[in-house]
Structure 1
């Protein structure tokens, strides 16, 4: 696959994961020709609109989202749009990343396995959120029934959660997101554990901000291109 194809796969995979998260909260977004949009405000940390193509325009986004209250967010997947004139501010920038299929995974520390029960998911979500109970509610048990979503956790010998990640499958790639390490766990432990839990025969995609790119590169990922996330006042 050439880079443009992989980038398109990464964008589509990410939007399908956003849709899965919305669906777990009783919401359904709309796939248009150039953008995915949600008419209702999406769950915490998830965008109200995502561009699907490099030629998406501001009108493709704004027509499909709720701007009656502050806090609408837009993921510009190709970093092409300027939404400042529409009352948005740039929230953050990041890089799409890709790891080819078939690369050997580094040795993993701990027992990395899928989260299977609501109780395990509740513990995972608390660890992901840094013990913020409100943020932890983002990950409800409905996600466990989604066949495309696998939530993985790494456990120390004493049962403590070392870290975790979300793996989301789409047609040609698997997305890696929500990667976290707890306490004094080195982030490289989480990257290795997530790779060990991911299917080795499929490319992995995702995105990371600049300060996390060194760890991503060390794990075998390469950059595909920039994205931007905008937030309305």
Structure 2
């Protein structure tokens, strides 16, 4: 996402990743990589000249309140083993969902996906730039109704060992199970799936075959 916005990729250290320039909306300015990371590991390398910087505390061990941050939310890391059926836990995909989900290939398709993801908010939709389509590790997945409406989707980010899933959403009235079935049908079944969710979204992930494997926290500079 930083590359798509023309930003440097940041600094990768032994305990944290940090960005010297403010990252795009909803993306962290720092991420802890080790359980022993301290405040200095994440704060020394980010831009705090204005409020709004965020830190993904991957191990839920930091207390950044004394540094002027507030806890934005807590969530659970999720893991879905490789090789499970793409559908619901009984192996049957939600009716019509898997066949309707496919990778987004064009800038116009991405723009439509982003508007659906944002609920029609053009400013938030602008987060997803066409440059993302050129990243071989990133796949934007959209589920389409017969009339062409986007019913849901997600972002898949592949590495050699796992596929990350993020930004999973559905249109009003569409169950999250449909998005999970459709997105899993597109994802590489040979790789485990990882991500994080909370609340009802976590329940939907668990129903899709994921397991909760540990907490994380998101901190926001007030």
Long gaps (5+) in structure 1: 1-20
Matched, 1:201 2:176: no
Equivalent-residue separation in structure 1 for 2:136 and 2:201 (angstroms): 29
Quote the RMSD (CA, aligned, Å): 0.8
TM (norm. structure 2) is 0.94
Matched, 1:189 2:169: no
Matched, 1:59 2:40: yes
Match of 2:149 among 155, 160, 164: 160
Long gaps (5+) in structure 2: 88-92
Equivalent-residue separation in structure 2 for 1:229 and 1:189 (angstroms): 27
Matched, 1:100 2:81: yes
Deviating runs (4+, > 3 A) in structure 1?
none
Match of 1:214 among 189, 203, 210: 203
Contact 2:176 2:201 in 1 (8 A): no
Equivalent-residue separation in structure 1 for 2:14 and 2:154 (angstroms): 30
State the partner residue of 2:25. Answer: 44
TM (norm. structure 1) is 0.90
Structure having the higher helix fraction is 1
Matched, 1:23 2:12: no
Provide the secondary structure at the position in 2 that maps to 1:126.
Answer: helix
1:172-227 Cα shifts (integer Å, max 9, x gaps)? 00001100001211111111111111111110000001332211111000011000
What is the deviation of 1:171? 2.2
